Structure 1
Amino acid sequence: MDTHPPLRSYGRIKSRAIKPRQAALMDTLLPKIRCPAGPIDPVGLMPGARETWLEIGFGGGEHMAAQAARAPDVLMLGAEPFLNGVASAVRHVDEQGLANVRIHDGDVRELIERLPDASLARVFILFPDPWPKARHHKRRLVQSELLAELVRVLRPGGRLRFASDWADYVDWTLERALRTPGLVWNAQRADDFRRPPADHVTTRYEEKLLGDCAPVFLDFVKA
């Protein structure tokens, strides 16, 4: 018998009313691009895909859609429990005619559990909710258990990118990543994490500068 407690995603699942056009796409397009139930075979989702990438907590889908448009031969998976964000992302997929995006509208841990070993080439965790109060740190997305699962699904040489504009969350993530077997941080100088990577897509959310420091980008490689 399964003894694991049920997964819980913290934060709002829905805030404001979803716009009519987005609501219509949630009914028509989302079922077509939603990740299927059960074990997931990325090859089956997009035969001929060069690689599979995952964005965890894609917000409004701006970055996910831009990366998918840049690399149409890559299968882009996205996970987001916030319904307004999913609605926004589906609109981006529709407007840009993206055929290489699949969405999991729920907790990413449910999705990762169903992915095979060494199936991902890249993972993005960009500006997740910082939960700055110490008593809420257990709600942070980045935990040792998640990092261990990401190591499992990343292929050798696969990359994990974390970005935040909250200094404490950067320190929190770096501490846990460095003690996760299989993850390597190759930064050699400050510019390696203080400057946006060449392939980064800046979003409107990032431009709001809601944190307490300039954005920091941590790129890890699976050994």
Structure 2
Amino acid sequence: MSDPDTPQPHRNFYGRSKGKTLRASQKDYLANDLEAMRLKGVTVQENAARTVLDMTQFGARPVWLEVGFGGGEHLVHMAALNPQIHLIGCEPFVNGVAMLLGKIRAAGVQNLSIHPGDVRDLFDVLPDGVVEKCFLNYPDPWPKARHHRRRFVTPGYLAPLHRVMAPGAEFRIATDIPDYVRQAHEEVPPAGFRLEREAGAGGAWPDWLSTRYEQKALREGRSPHYLTFRRD
């Protein structure tokens, strides 16, 4: 039982959690598939004391993380391509979670866990140095200057990310927003990551799967940009 005097984290969350009405099939995925896939002990309601997760639940598999998996196509692709690892996907947008669950059911991948919420809650309970690769694909750009502090590439996210990633772990960022690239250059290295590779259109990683967000960007004339950082 947790100590009722243990301080609980309180955070503002600015992104969307719900969108258009779910289809019947998506409601079915959420009702019947999510609980088995959901990573337990992450929320304050389930783990008020913020006890560190037992990572032996994944066996000896390396742990990878995708922050904001959108519709889940990249997450499922990576899980299928790398059956030797365990992937954790975080996404607070319920429509995206439902889309992912449909893709998981179709692909039959089993080396996945989902946290349908704020990644900072997961950071609270992950042990030090356990994440060996992290993906940040087409994150919310928060285009207005006064909202840039809400972007993932800010100290409030990067400091805990650095803590949970293993030394030498890879941190990938894909975005079509030039100002997001600028801020990544400014904020990520001081957080303890060195830039290893940078590429534009046509220079994606060999195992990259173009997401629906990237395809939309290309249709609208925006060029993708791919950054690879390495945790010091």
TM-score normalized by structure 2?
A: 0.87
Matched, 1:143 2:143: no
Aligned 8 A contact 1:165 1:212 in 2: no
Measure the CA separation in 2 of the matches of 1:24 and 1:14: 16
Poorly superposed stretches of 4+, deviation over 3 Å: 1-5, 210-213
Amino acid at match of 2:209: V
Contact 2:88 2:114 in 1 (8 A): yes
Aligned with residue 163 of structure 2, among 114, 136, 152: 152
Deviates more, 1:135-144 or 1:62-71: 135-144
- Unpaired runs of at least 5, structure 2: 42-46
Q: Answer yes or no: is the 8 Å Cα contact 1:56–1:125 preserved in 2.
A: yes
The secondary structure found in structure 2 opposite 1:121 is strand
Query: What is the 5 A alignment of 1:187-206?
Result: 187=197, 192-194=198-200, 195-206=203-214
| Equivalent in the alignment of 2:228 | 219
CA distance in 2 between counterparts of 1:115 and 1:81 reads 18
The Cα offsets for residues 14-43 of structure 1, whole Å up to 9 and x where unpaired, read as 111111112111111110010001432232
Structure 2 counterpart of 1:32, one-letter code? A
Q: What is the aligned partner in structure 2 of residue 168 from structure 1? A: 179
Question: 1:11: Cα distance to partner?
Answer: 2.5
| Contact preservation (8 Å) 1:167, 1:213 | no
Q: Answer yes or no: is 1:128 the counterpart of 2:136.
A: no
Question: Cα distance, 1:2 vs. partner?
Answer: 5.9
Counterpart of 1:40 in structure 2 is: 53
Looking at structure 2, the residues matched to 31 and 162 of structure 1 have their Cα atoms a distance apart, in angstroms, of: 29
* C-alpha contact 2:152 2:158 (8 A) present in aligned 1: no
TM norm structure 1? 0.91
Root-mean-square deviation (CA), in Å?
A: 1.7
For residue 31 of structure 1, the aligned residue among 23, 29, 35 is 35
Cα deviation digits, residues 82-103 of structure 1 (max 9, x gap): 0000000111111111111100
